[in-house]
Chains A and B, each alone.
Chain A
Amino acid sequence: MTELLRGSGLTLLRGDRCLFRGLDFALHAREALQVKGPNGSGKTSLLRAVAGLLDLEEGQVTWRGQPTLGHRQAYCDELVWFAHRLGFKADLTLVDNLRFEAGLRRTRMDRFDEVLERLGLGRLTRLPLRSLSAGQQRRVSLARMLLADARLWLMDEPFTNLDAAGQALVLELIDAHLAEGGACMLASHQPIVLQGTLKSLVLQ
C-alpha cells in the first residue's frame, strides 16, 4: 500500500502550553486515522497543523514523501478540508457556493446532481444557505468533499449537527472514499466503526 501522509516528531505549542510533543503517525491509501482525545486536547490544532493552517514548533508533515511546506500546491491539490466553520457564504445559494468551489480546485461538476440527490439536498438548490438548518448546511459541506476530486479528506468533528441517518451517511461516504483508494484523517471523540481500516491516535 502506498504511504500518503506522514507526520514525524510533530510538536505544537499554543501560548506557553504544549499540546503535543514528538507525535508520529502514518496514513496509507485506503486507511482512515481517527484522532481521539478529550476536549481541549489539541485534536483540531493537530488537524490544522497537518493541513498547513498552523505552524508547527518542530517536526514535519510529508505528503507522498515530500514535505508539505515546500510543496504546498501539490499537497493542497489533493486535499479537502471539512471543519466546524463550513466556509460557505450564508447569503448565497447552495449552487452558487458549490460553483465557486469549482474555481478553486478540481471538481467533478458532472456528478453534481447525483451528489445532491445522494445527500438529500436536491430540493434546496435555490435557497440561500442561511435558510437551511445546521444539519443541512453540514450536508452541503459533505457535497463539497464528494465533488472535490481529492485523495485526502481532513475532517474536524464530522458528526456535529447531523442526525443518526446523517452520521451513518458520513461513515458510508468515508468507506466509499477509502474503497476508491483515498485516505481520511478525522478528529472525533465518539467511537466509530468502518468497514475499511481504521487507525487511531490518542491525544492526552
Chain B
Amino acid sequence: MSAANRPTLVAGLVAILRRDLLLAFKRPGDVLNPLFFFAIVSTLFPLAIGPAPEQLVAIGPGVVWVAALLAMLISMNGMFLGDFEDGSLDQLILSPQPLPLLALGKTITHWLVSGLPLVLVSPLIAVTYQMPFDTIGVMMATLSLGTISLSLLGSVGAALTVGLNRGSALLSLLVLPLAMPILIFGARTVALAASNDVVSAGIYFLAAYCVLGLSLAPFATAAALRISNE
C-alpha cells in the first residue's frame, strides 16, 4: 500500500504558510482591518491634541506603540477561529506533522499579515509626529521585534479561547498583562532614541522576549489547541 513518502517538516510548514497566505489574499478585508485601525488611531491624536511640534514629539512613540498593540489585539481573535469552525483544526491535530510546527506556521502567517504591514506603514505615521529620521529606524526595529512577540503571545491566547463563545474579551485579559513589558520597552526605547540616548538595552530586551516566545509559544499553543478542540 505504501508508495508515498511522508512529507518533510519543511513541506508541512510551507504548506500551511502557503494556504493561510492564500486565504488572507482572498479575503483582504481581514488583513486591512488592523492596518486601518492603526493608521486611523495614530493620525487622530495630532488632530485632537493640537499640532504643536514639541507636544507631538513627546507623545509620538507612545501613541504609535499603543495603536500597534491594539491593532494586533484586534487581529488575534481570528487566528484559529476559521480552522476551529470548519473542522480544519481536527485535520491539523490528526496529521502526522507535529502540531507545534503547524501552530508556528499559523503564527508566522499571522505576523506576516497583521504585524509586518504595521511595521511598514509606521514610518509614514512617524513623519506626522515629526520624529527625527534616525529615530524611525529604531522605531521600526522595536516594532518588528514587538509585533513578532505579540503574534506569539496572541497565538497562545487565541488557542486557549478559540472554543469559547465570547473569547475575545478574555483573550485581551490573557494577553495584555504579558504584553505590557513589550509596550513599556518598545515605547521607551523609541523615546530614548528621540532624545539621542542609548537604545541597545531596550532592543536587546525585546529581542530576548521574542526569542523566548519563539521557543515556548508554539508548544503552548499546540497544547492549548488540543484542549480547546475537545
Contact = CB atoms under 8 A, between A and B. Distances in A.
Residue from B85, B86, B94 with most neighbouring chain A CB atoms (10 Å): B94
A108 B4 contact: yes
Given A100-B18, A106-B5, A106-B7, A89 B86 contact: yes
Residue from A89, A102, A109 with most neighbouring chain B CB atoms (10 Å): A89
A87 B12 contact: no
A54 interface: yes
Contact of B88 (A79, A80, A89): A89
Nearest to B82: A89
Nearest to B19: A100
B96 A89 contact: no
Dominant SS at the B interface? helix
Contacts of A157: none
A97 to B, nearest CB: 8
Residue from B6, B27, B98 with most neighbouring chain A CB atoms (10 Å): B6
B3 A108 contact: yes
B177 interface: no
Contact of A103 (B7, B93, B94, B98): B7
A20 interface: no
Contacts of B2: 106, 149
Contacts of B26: 91-92, 128
Nearest to B98: A73
A144 to B, nearest CB: 8
A149 B85 CA distance: 26
B14 interface: yes
Interface string A137-157: 000000000000101000000
Nearest to A80: B94
Contact of B94 (A76, A84, A109, A149): A76
A148 B4 CA distance: 9
B22 A77 contact: no
Contacts of B93: 52-53
A86 B87 contact: yes
B14 A81 contact: no
B97 interface: yes
A76 B14 contact: no
Residue from A89, A100, A104 with most neighbouring chain B CB atoms (10 Å): A104
A182 interface: yes
Nearest to A75: B96
Interface string A93-132: 0001001111111111110000000000000000010000
B1 A149 contact: yes
A106 B15 CA distance: 13
Contacts of A182: 1
A85 interface: yes
A138 to B, nearest CB: 12
Nearest to B10: A103
Contact of A91 (B3, B11, B27): B27
Contacts of B27: 91
B1 A83 contact: no
Contacts of B173: none
A104 B91 contact: yes
5 contacts: A53-B94, A88-B86, A102-B11, A103-B14, A103-B16
Given A96-B19, A106-B2, 11 more contacts: A51-B90, A54-B230, A77-B96, A85-B87, A89-B86, A89-B88, A100-B16, A105-B95, A105-B96, A149-B3, A180-B1
